Structure 1
């Protein structure tokens, strides 16, 4: 009888928790990075979980940078005459050594 009360409790609590879990995830790039990191970690000495964690962080950061670059390209396409960065300064020529006497 003890297991049936546990199932009853689970049946009552689980529907209450489902609406909280339907919010959109902020894990863009994490899944693909975690898969790649997990595989690499597995082959690098059975550290699949550690590799998955690192891959998740790296994948998220890479996706964030890619998103920022896409936004910058779109901004440049919208406003082509606007200067978004400074031109690099010209590099002066290297001094020539004096002739030996």
Structure 2
């Protein structure tokens, strides 16, 4: 089966989808998609969660390569790592919108 990815690749794909499996992380990603780049305090305010929760989520997303940070003085500003993450979020939202319009 040519389309079947190797086990290691399947595990990496699964870990990205696990990140999206948490509503808080998903909201953070969509906030970054919309805003471009934000610090922890701005992400916390925009999503209504604590800075501690945002920091923990960003740590996971950074280690998975979904977001990257840029240090500016005492603050770190986060953004989506690349266009593939943007595309994944856009396609996922389009899929959900498509399914709800069928009902």
TM-score normalized with structure 1 length: 0.27
Structure with the greater alpha carbon radius of gyration:
1
TM-score normalized with structure 2 length: 0.26
